[in-house]
Amino acid sequence: MEKVTVFDLIERMSALLRSEERKKCTEFGLQSVHLQILDYLSRCNKYSDTPAALANYLGMTRGTVSQTLLLLEKKAYVNKTTDTTDRRVVHLSLLPNGKAMLQQARPTELFDQAADLLVSDKLSNYDEMLVSMLTALQKSNKSQSFGICKTCQYFTVSPDVHLCGLTREALTEDDSGKICQEHRAL
């Protein structure tokens, strides 16, 4: 049963990261949801920085998200602005405070130390394999994949510009590396 063990290992790593995250959170007086929200906001593109997308991504109700955002706003971690074209929609953005917190709370040392222990010339292989595993997971999670923009079936790259085939909008290099709620895996 190779199938099981491979993803068991992923699950184990995930558990390890979660517990590490929890410790960091209590250290900084946060809840792990807060950190997840900050993390998401740092990674999502302009189509996906709304409360509704957050609720979808994290699997929470919109009411709960609204509450949590109030708190994060009070702490000056995030900022709200209403969309200019659709006035129901709110866009969220990370404030400097929030970015700083995220920087501190991510398990950077853990990763760095772990990476040092791995034989470095094997790293490129790891990379490739993990990408295919992640893609496989995202495809299976078909409800809404929340994948990286440039790995989307709607993403097209003309000689000079990146383009989202769904919204027909041009994308910055930066945006195309971020999470999109409209993502459809290839």
Tell whether residue 57 is a contact of a second copy (CB under 8 A): yes
Tell whether residue 26 is a contact of a second copy (CB under 8 A): yes
Whether the CB-CB separation of 176 and 149 falls below 8 Å is answered with: yes
Tell whether residue 28 is a contact of a second copy (CB under 8 A): no
Tell whether residue 174 is a contact of a second copy (CB under 8 A): no
Residue number, 82 or 156, with CB nearest to DNA: 82
Q: How far apart are CA 48 and CA 54, in angstroms?
A: 8
Q: Which helix (H) or strand (E) holds 12?
A: helix 2-28
Q: In the set 52, 58, 90, 163, which binds a second copy (CB under 8 A)?
A: 58
Which partner, DNA, a second copy, none, binds residue 112 by CB below 5 to 8 Å per kind? a second copy
Beta strand segments in the chain, E: 78-82, 90-94, 155-157, 162-164, 169-171
Residue number, 42 or 135, with CB nearest to DNA: 42
Residue 49's CB: how many other CB atoms inside 10 A?
A: 23
Which partner, DNA, a second copy, none, binds residue 133 by CB below 5 to 8 Å per kind? a second copy
Which partner, DNA, a second copy, none, binds residue 47 by CB below 5 to 8 Å per kind? none
Tell which residue, 49, 54, 103, 100, has the closest CA to residue 77.
100
Q: Which helix (H) or strand (E) holds 109?
A: helix 108-117
Residues that bind DNA (CB under 7 A): 22, 26, 31, 33-34, 50-53, 59-71, 80, 85-90
